[in-house]
Amino acid sequence: MDNHWTRRRFLKTAGITASAAMLGPSLFDASEALAATPLVRRDIGGLGINDPILVSYRKAVKAMQALPASDPRSWTYQAAIHGTTLSPPKTAWNTCAHGTIFFWSWHRMYLYWFEHIVRSMAGDPNWALPFWNWSSPSERQLPAAFRDTTSVLYTVNRDPAMNDGSGSLPATDVSFSAAFAFTSFASANSSIQGTPHGDVHVDVGGWMGSVPTAGQDPIFYLHHCNIDRLWNLWLAQGGGRTDPLSDAAWKNTKFTFFDETGKQVQMTGCDVLRAAQQLNYKYEGEPAQVAPFCLQVFKPPILYREIELIRWPGPPVELGPARVSFPLDIKALRQRLMSLAQSKTDTVLLAFDEVVSERPPGVVWEVYVGLPANAAPDPKSPFYVGNLSLFGAGIRSEAHHEFQPARFRFAIDGALLAAFRSKEESVAVTLVPHGILVNGKPTQRKVDSPVRIGAVSLAAQSESRQ
Ligand code: C2O
């Protein structure tokens, strides 16, 4: 018999609140089938600074900040679930899942319970989180309500230019096209964690720039709402994109949170597959949500294998304030790379492994493959393959359990094909640091801590049906 069902029946008989009983597949739950239409998480771009949604959010943040840190519904406790430097750690502290397959799902659960607490603290039972839609070119500044210095939504712990409205997010940092091009869940989940997710954290800076403090900034939850929305949009693209329903750990690992009464609750991947149906929310303007079920796997999953082709023999690559470029010798592999890059089921990846920094670097790097030596780096050129930024994984000062270096994968088929038009025997890998835009113009930021890339390689990602 299905475990979830047993547990849910038990919870119900034990008379636990409706929200706690919502755990588990909603398939069997009549009360949920009868539930009202899902709440809508709105785009903050369409909300005035005194929209009731923001009034309620301010009220709740104030009330949560007034609670003692020992209360699971307090602002301090909720932020600490994501990450904190406070010790000794309490239940569920420091549990955010970066650099893992749980990135999208853990943050969905986290927002879900946070939203319940805000709803109850604001006394606004239909409240839903708005999302910071930096995907829209008109929303690249920090939303105005968060720049109002008299508001609880403001903190001085951000980049000053983001806070005064002169700063905005560069287009490359909010682009999800690299992540969306991946059909493998693991690859998309990992790619999106870097760009746009990590880049926006770094760009907002201050508390947002570091895992142990990020949850203290009220904008955190709106940023993550947009990342959560992108999960739905990634699935809606189809083309073989699915949740990892053949991964038992992804489906069944239990994570701990607290509900609006301060009671401990647990959730698994299977509980958060269908936002509208299981969690009662959808996003303003999104297409129909794809509705995967843990109990029904109809098709054999597509398998993705990664095979290393060339490893760069040089010393670790050190990233500092200056642009860095080094050649990858490809002459022996030219034909193979060419056919992989042209294939529909294979992708050539640029792989960075063992990526490490002592502290948050505070900077985002653009990554290019095949950029000609005399050419200016241009993210609109075919040589641009994505960004590198660190947030959580790879940063030694932020390791709360065991330190884990970061890894990055960039799909480089297009860049390689462009580079192969010249007959060179090597292709350059180039990394260029950048800061946010200020008054619409690119800026440089100080590199707070250099980054070391321990291993660089080219790999082939191949897909096959089981
Ligand atoms: Cu757990 Cu945006 O971070």
Write out pLDDT tens, residues 136-148: 999 999 999 999 9
Helix 52-66 crosses helix 75-82 at what angle (to 10 degrees)?
A: 90
Higher-confidence residue of 106 and 99: namely 106
Q: How many CB atoms lie within 10 A of CB 336?
A: 13
Give the integer Cα–Cα distance in Å for 160 and 165.
Answer: 9
pLDDT confidence of 298, banded at 50, 70, 90? low
Which residue minimizes the CA distance to atom 1 of ligand 1? 96
pLDDT of 98 reads 85
Is 322 a residue whose pLDDT tops 70?
yes
Q: Residues 428-435: what's their mean pLDDT?
A: 97
98 lines ligand 1 (CB under 6 A): yes
DSSP state of 344: S
Give the integer Cα–Cα distance in Å for 428 and 383.
Answer: 10
Query: In sequence order, which residues have a C-beta less than 8 Å from that of residue 448 and are 6 or more positions away?
Result: 359, 360, 361, 362, 363
Write out pLDDT tens, residues 60-73: 999 999 999 999 99
For residue 223, the ligand 1 atom closest to its alpha carbon is 2
* Mean pLDDT for all residues in the chain: 91
pLDDT confidence of 12, banded at 50, 70, 90? very low
224 lines ligand 1 (CB under 6 A): yes
Q: Residues 100-129: what's their mean pLDDT?
A: 98
pLDDT of 466 reads 56
Residue 221 near residue 113 (C-beta atoms within 8 A): no
Top-ranked range on mean pLDDT: pick from 22-31, 229-238, 298-307, 388-397: 229-238
Higher-confidence residue of 94 and 9: namely 94
Q: Please give the distance, rounded to the nearest whole angstrom, from the Cα atom of residue 211 to the centre of ligand 1.
A: 7
Is 27 a residue whose pLDDT tops 90?
no
Q: How many CB atoms lie within 10 A of CB 437?
A: 20
Q: What is the three-class DSSP state of 441?
A: strand
For residue 253, the number of C-alpha atoms closer than 13 Å in the C-beta half-sphere is 15
Q: Please give the distance, rounded to the nearest whole angstrom, from the Cα atom of residue 221 to the centre of ligand 1.
A: 9
324-329 and 426-434: which strand pairing?
Answer: antiparallel
197 lines ligand 1 (CB under 6 A): yes
192 lines ligand 1 (CB under 6 A): no
Please name which of 27, 10, 20 lies closest in space to residue 295, comparing C-alpha atoms: 27
Q: Please give the distance, rounded to the nearest whole angstrom, from the Cα atom of residue 96 to the centre of ligand 1.
A: 7
pLDDT of 388 reads 97
pLDDT of 22 reads 44
Kindly write down the DSSP assignment for every residue of 153-216, as one continuous string. T--SSS-HHHHHTSEE--GGGG--HHHHH--SHHHHHHHHIIIIIIHHHHHH-GGGGSHHHHTT
| Rg of the chain taking only CA atoms, in angstroms | 22
What is the percent of the chain where pLDDT is above 90? Answer: 82
Residue 398 near residue 212 (C-beta atoms within 8 A): yes
Is 446 a residue whose pLDDT tops 50?
yes
pLDDT of 464 reads 81
Write out pLDDT tens, residues 227-259: 999 999 999 999 999 999 999 999 999 999 999
108 lines ligand 1 (CB under 6 A): no
Q: Please give the distance, rounded to the nearest whole angstrom, from the Cα atom of residue 259 to the centre of ligand 1.
A: 20
Give the integer Cα–Cα distance in Å for 45 and 343.
Answer: 40
Sign of the CA dihedral running 158, 233, 352, 245: positive
Please name which of 362, 28, 458, 330 lies closest in space to residue 162, comparing C-alpha atoms: 362
pLDDT of 36 reads 66
For residue 198, the ligand 1 atom closest to its alpha carbon is 2
Q: Which of 30-34, 120-124, 281-285, 439-443 has the lowest mean pLDDT?
A: 30-34
pLDDT of 167 reads 98
Write out pLDDT tens, residues 399-423: 766 789 999 999 999 999 999 988 7
pLDDT of 453 reads 97
CA 344 from chain center: how many Å? 27
Q: Residues 27-54: what's their mean pLDDT?
A: 79
pLDDT confidence of 9, banded at 50, 70, 90? very low
For residue 220, the ligand 1 atom closest to its alpha carbon is 2
Q: Please give the distance, rounded to the nearest whole angstrom, from the Cα atom of residue 79 to the centre of ligand 1.
A: 11
pLDDT of 431 reads 98
Q: Residues 287-294: what's their mean pLDDT?
A: 93
What is the percent of the chain where pLDDT is above 70? Answer: 91
- The pTM for the full model equals 0.91
Q: What is the three-class DSSP state of 356?
A: strand
The separation between the first and the last C-alpha atoms of the chain, rounded to the nearest angstrom, is 27
Give the integer Cα–Cα distance in Å for 357 and 365.
Answer: 14
